[in-house]
């Protein structure tokens, strides 16, 4: 075969379009999967993106390593299933549909359109928003099965989620209870703490009043206990105050009043004279009674109120060492339940004060702040008010400020699971390693119980039918783990698990015989994401699938925000179900920021359009840019079009130039690889440069195999780049005079072409996981085979490892670097020959290596002596003869440049006209430039 000629002026995006078309027409992706044995599996779990989202650099970033490693393990002989998935349920879709329907609140969903129509609109919406992804995923070179993509809204997926809930419930890890969690008043639903923690932009810095309130102690004249707070609306209901029994408190006199606060918080007192009257432990305050600010709510019989209680969470670091206790705080509610304090919930589900609140009933809670403070100040119960700047959490979907609100909801008992979560984490390989016992472990240490129920509509149902005691039931629960089980209990066919159909299904309580409805909540969509390993395969209902064939998956990858989110929920569910890690290896990427260092935002205009850049520079360049950057070790980077563009100018263009040189000269010299090619030396002897580059290639095979196996793309790109630099700037540079129409040594030509062919084909295989487009284009032309991605990953060939030669060549390169530096300092061009180079080396260099150095440095002789310290000295004397030779070499350079400008073929003879030339070098000039003759003329001309 002869090779298809290639142009030195390569258009990478156009090349990639051709390859994309070829892959699709010839089903190369499908063949790469199907050609690997079914009993040799490497499993990869993809985190499904929200179907409402549009592709951006963050989603492209995550998709790239999800392609690199499946490609590598496929080439290692494993079958790697790669199925796309869509995250359909939850607030992202609901918020979009609310907006499209002109709805402003959860209440309007039920009142204006009804749940049935709203769910229908959600289904319609998520069925029409995924088309944009295909183009982006194709153009970054990711292979994934879109055709068989699963959706979390599909019935099989939802059935597995039902099964997951059932398994965890039966193991005692799910309970229903009143607990405090983050809550969005606009969405009228709890929000997971890890959803907020995923993105720093979910926290907003605000400045608002921070107040010290006065609570009058009963039976003590003019004596007030001081409590600091930033939530005036929550002072409407304060049935208790908490102090730390172990802290020291003081009673001070300031003016005519007496105040009590922690000793170490006296900074909170007004800047007015005061006198300390007493010091005492907080324990002595416990049990004292105080007067409520508002008494519209009753303290029920058997409940406590208007009392100071102990709280070990109270500190003197902020505030006064006294905490107001209400239901709207995690520690507040916990201590209230422990101390049997009256619980009053004054907010409705949309954040408005309930009608039973005097004066401000029906007012939004934040709006009420001003009026509450005015009221308390007017009654002399406000001690001081100061501006306070702090960060508050906001809803990750609608950006409404969140509150901590008590919820009677369904929870996963994380506290019970924690020992198991810590234990299973030990078995997971994290890349980078510091996340394992750093951010991931730390986040688990402080994790609250996971609220898995949502007071919304579009999601998998909480699969619990409860014979509710408040409705006269016996308290029995029915928790089905499959559609079949539910059908048998309900006595009807079930085709959809969504609301409102699922809410119409009634069952008969097995204990008391009463008709029972399902609890109204839907599941947090994160439980669906956390069930992906099982649900995307409809496990355990597909009987042909065995758990050990896919769980735990070998690999997952996402950005740092998923440490507290997807990675965490996978981990929880894996541990709860099987006491197992949920994944074996996890790669954590950083975040791509805008050009100004802020989060990428259309409003800021701080990032280039990814589609435009992919069209201009191509997918391989983006892959190299990201895979070689610190973002692949969990660090944040700023998007840089310049760095993206440099990938074309660097590794890719250098590799193309080497490839172009080989193709061009192999065609000129009519060299063809034998059928079933294998590097061998029957009709040629390998030159020292051949042996060196072959040895370097074996090291590259070893290094890249290790880097791929350890999910280290940064070092993989670095090693690949270094090798290509060596290949271009040393091997090819020093081998140029071994090939071409003027060279007669056919044996040495064969050695060069055979070596270069082996190097390039192997290099295509090594780099294929990183740059799939370029490598496939090269490999197909070089080998006339179907695709590099259907080939096997190279293995080291130990007979081509020449360690001593590598060390010798490393020394030679150091000598060359020093000699070139001396030429540069003396302003002597490399084309100007010099007499000699003097070197001192620890070990004598071989004659072959000295000859290579001599040609590179352009000296007639190298004098090498043995010595401890490396020394290089260039003889800079230029004799008349050397000067003429230098002139001849400069003429050759000019003529070659002119040949290129007029489009001469490499083997094309020419006639050269020039004003003068050194006669003793005429044959040299003619031979170098393929000139039939040299003619005298006024200026340099080349004709063919």
- Residues 640, 600: Cα–Cα separation, whole Å: 12
Nearest C-alpha neighbor of 235 from the set 221, 218, 206, 215: 215
Q: Which residues contact 328 (CB under 8 A, 6 or more apart)?
A: 180, 231, 234, 347, 403, 404, 405, 406
Examine the residue annotation and report whether 794 is marked as an active-site residue of this protein. Answer: no
Q: Read off the tokens for 284.
A: 């002595």
**Which pair of tokens denotes residue 348?**
């409705």
- Within 1-108, where are the H helices? 12-26, 28-34, 57-63, 65-75, 91-100, 106-108
Q: What secondary structure letter does DSSP report for 845?
A: P
Closest CA to 554 of 590, 588, 589, 587: 587
Please, which residues have CB within 8 angstroms of residue 651's CB and are 6 or more apart in sequence?
A: 624, 717, 720, 721, 724
3-class SS of residue 404: strand
Burial class (CB in 10 A: 0-12, 13-18, 19+), 842: exposed
Q: Which member of 46, 67, 87, 748 is catalytic?
A: 87
Token digits for 876?
């800079």
Residue 901's pLDDT is what? Answer: 87
Show the tokens assigned to 732.
């090819």
Residue 548 neighbours by CB distance under 10 Å: 7
Q: CA–CA separation, 436 vs 415, rounded Å?
A: 19
Residue 58 pLDDT: 83
Catalytic annotation, pick one of 13, 23, 42, 48: 48
Q: Helix %, strand %, coil % for the chain, to 5?
A: 45, 20, 35
Query: Does the annotation count 855 as an active-site position?
Result: no
DSSP sequence for 85-135: EEB--SHHHHHHHHHHTT--SHHHIIIII-HHHHHHHHHHHHTSS-HHHHH
Residue 369: enclosing H or E segment and its boundaries?
helix 365-378
Annotation says 900 is catalytic: no
Q: Does the annotation mark 526 as catalytic?
A: yes
CA distance 556 to 43: 9
602 is catalytic: yes
The catalytically annotated residue of 256, 602, 670, 827 is 602
Report DSSP state, residue 789: G
Let me know if 48 is a catalytic residue: yes
Catalytic residue among 599, 699, 818, 909: 599
Size (the chain), residues: 944
What is the C-alpha separation between 494 and 720, in angstroms, rounded?
56
Q: What is the mean pLDDT of each run of 10 residues along the chain (944 residues)?
A: 88 97 98 95 91 79 96 98 93 90 91 95 84 89 93 96 98 94 90 80 89 96 96 94 98 97 97 96 97 94 96 95 94 94 94 95 95 96 94 88 92 97 98 96 93 95 90 87 96 95 94 92 95 96 92 96 94 98 97 84 76 93 96 93 84 96 94 77 83 98 98 98 97 93 88 95 98 98 96 95 95 96 94 94 93 95 92 94 93 91 88 91 90 90 88
- Inter-residue contact 449 to 412 (CB < 8 Å): yes
User: Three-state SS for 939?
Assistant: coil
Residue 879: CB atoms within 10 Å: 11
CB neighbours of 43 closer than 8 A, spacing ≥ 6?
Answer: 80, 81, 549, 550, 551, 553, 554, 555
Catalytic residue among 396, 566, 656, 671: 566
Q: How far is CA 166 from the centre of its chain?
A: 32
159 close to 486: Cβ distance less than 8 angstroms: no
Residue 160: both structure tokens together:
């597995």
**From 526, 656, 730, 917, active-site residue:** 526
The two tokens of residue 595 are: 């050009």
SS3 assignment, position 430: strand
Q: Order of strands, edge to edge, in the sheet holding 275-281?
A: 275-281, 248-254, 257-262, 223-229, 203-216, 382-393
Of 167, 346, 407, 562, the active-site residue reads: 562
In this prediction the pTM is: 0.88
CA 568, chain centre distance (Å): 15
CA–CA distance, 567 with 424 (Å, rounded to integer):
13
Give the residue from 333, 359, 330, 331 showing the smallest Cα distance to 344: 333
Structure tokens at 644: 């993206």
Position 130 scores a pLDDT of 64
Return the biggest CA–CA distance within the chain: 122
């Amino acid at each position: 075969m002869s090779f298809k000629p290639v142009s030195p002026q390569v258009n990478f995006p156009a090349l990639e379009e051709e390859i994309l078309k070829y892959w699709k027409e010839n089903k190369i992706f499908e063949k790469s999967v199907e050609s690997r044995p079914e009993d040799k599996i490497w499993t990869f779990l993809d985190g499904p993106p929200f179907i409402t989202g549009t592709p951006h650099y963050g989603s492209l970033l995550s998709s790239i390593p999800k392609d690199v490693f499946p490609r590598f393990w496929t080439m290692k002989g494993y079958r790697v299933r790669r199925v796309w998935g869509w995250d359909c349920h939850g607030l992202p879709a609901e918020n979009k549909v609310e907006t499209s329907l002109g709805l402003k609140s959860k209440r309007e969903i039920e009142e204006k359109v009804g749940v049935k129509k709203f769910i229908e609109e959600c289904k319609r919406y998520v069925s029409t928003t995924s088309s944009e992804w295909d183009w982006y995923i194709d153009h970054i070179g990711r292979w994934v099965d879109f055709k068989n993509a699963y959706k979390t809204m599909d019935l099989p997926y939802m059935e597995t989620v039902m099964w997951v809930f059932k398994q965890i419930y039966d193991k005692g890890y799910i309970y229903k209870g009143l607990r405090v969690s983050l809550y969005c008043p606009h969405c009228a639903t709890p929000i997971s703490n890890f959803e907020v923690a995923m993105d720093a932009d979910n926290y907003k810095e605000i400045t608002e009043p921070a107040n010290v309130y006065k609570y009058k102690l009963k039976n003590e004249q003019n004596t007030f206990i001081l409590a600091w707070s930033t939530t005036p609306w929550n002072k409407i209901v304060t049935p208790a105050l908490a102090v730390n029994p172990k802290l020291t408190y003081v009673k001070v006199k300031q003016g005519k009043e007496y105040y009590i606060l922690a000793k170490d918080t006296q900074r909170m007192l007004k800047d007015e004279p005061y006198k300390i009257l007493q010091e005492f432990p907080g324990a002595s305050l416990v049990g004292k009674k105080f007067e409520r600010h508002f008494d519209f709510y009753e303290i029920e019989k058997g409940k406590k109120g208007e009392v100071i209680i102990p709280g070990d969470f109270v500190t003197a670091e902020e505030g006064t060492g006294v905490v107001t206790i209400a239901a709207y705080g995690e520690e507040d509610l916990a201590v209230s339940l422990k101390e049997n304090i009256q619980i009053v919930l004054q907010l409705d589900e949309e954040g408005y004060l309930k009608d039973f609140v005097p004066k401000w009933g029906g007012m939004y809670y934040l709006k009420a702040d001003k009026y509450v403070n005015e009221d308390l100040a007017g009654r002399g119960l406000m001690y001081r008010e100061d501006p306070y700047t702090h960060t508050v959490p906001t809803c990750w979907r609608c950006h409404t400020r969140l509150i901590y609100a008590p919820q009677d909801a369904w929870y996963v008992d994380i506290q019970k699971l924690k020992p198991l979560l810590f234990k299973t984490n030990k078995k997971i390989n994290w890349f980078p390693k510091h996340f394992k016992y750093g951010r991931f472990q730390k986040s688990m240490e402080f994790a609250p119980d996971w609220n898995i129920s949502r007071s919304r509509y579009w999601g998998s149902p909480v699969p619990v039918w409860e014979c509710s005691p408040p409705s006269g039931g016996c308290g029995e629960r029915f928790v089905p783990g499959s559609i079949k089980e539910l059908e048998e209990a309900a006595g009807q066919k079930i085709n959809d698990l969504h609301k409102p159909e699922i809410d119409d299904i009634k069952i008969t309580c097995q204990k008391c015989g009463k008709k029972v409805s399902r609890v109204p909540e839907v599941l947090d969509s994160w439980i669906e994401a956390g069930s992906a390993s099982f649900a995307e395969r409809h496990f355990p209902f597909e009987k042909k699938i065995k758990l050990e064939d896919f769980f735990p998956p070998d690999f997952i990858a996402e950005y740092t925000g998923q440490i507290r989110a997807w990675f965490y929920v996978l981990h929880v569910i894996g541990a709860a179900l099987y006491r197992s890690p949920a994944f074996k290896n996890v790669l954590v990427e950083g975040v791509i920021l805008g050009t100004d260092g802020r989060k990428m935002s259309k409003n800021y205009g701080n990032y280039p359009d990814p589609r435009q850049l992919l069209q201009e520079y191509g997918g391989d360049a983006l892959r190299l840019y990201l895979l070689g950057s610190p973002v692949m070790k969990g660090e944040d980077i700023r998007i840089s079009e310049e760095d993206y563009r440099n990938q074309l100018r660097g590794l890719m263009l250098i590799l193309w130039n080497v490839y172009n040189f080989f193709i061009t000269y192999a065609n000129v010299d009519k060299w063809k690889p034998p059928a079933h090619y294998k590097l061998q030396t029957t009709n040629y002897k390998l030159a020292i440069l051949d042996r060196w580059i072959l040895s370097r290639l074996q090291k590259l095979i070893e290094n890249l195999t290790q880097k791929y196996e350890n999910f280290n793309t940064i070092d993989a790109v670095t090693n690949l780049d270094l090798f290509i630099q060596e290949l271009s700037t040393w091997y090819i540079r020093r081998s140029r005079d071994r090939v071409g129409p003027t060279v007669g040594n056919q044996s040495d030509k064969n050695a060069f072409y055979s070596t270069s062919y082996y190097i390039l084909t192997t290099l295509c295989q090594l780099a294929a996981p990183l740059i799939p487009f370029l490598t496939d284009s090269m490999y197909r032309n070089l080998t006339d085979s179907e695709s590099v991605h259907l080939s096997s990953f190279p293995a080291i060939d130990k007979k081509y490892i020449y360690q001593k030669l590598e060390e010798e060549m490393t020394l030679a390169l150091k000598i060359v670097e020093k000699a070139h530096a001396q030429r540069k300092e003396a302003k002597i061009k490399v084309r100007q020959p010099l007499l000699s180079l003097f070197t001192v080396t620890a070990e004598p260099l071989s004659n072959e290596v000295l000859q290579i150095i001599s040609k590179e440095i352009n000296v007639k002789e190298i004098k090498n002596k043995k010595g401890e310290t490396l020394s290089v000295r260039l003889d800079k004397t230029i004799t008349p003869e050397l000067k003429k030779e230098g002139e001849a070499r400069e003429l050759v350079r000019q003529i070659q440049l002119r040949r290129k400008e007029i489009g001469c073929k490499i083997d094309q003879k020419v006639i050269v006209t020039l004003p003068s030339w050194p006669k003793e070098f005429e044959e040299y000039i003619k031979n170098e430039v393929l000139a039939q003759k040299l003619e005298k003329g006024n200026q340099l001309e080349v004709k063919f």
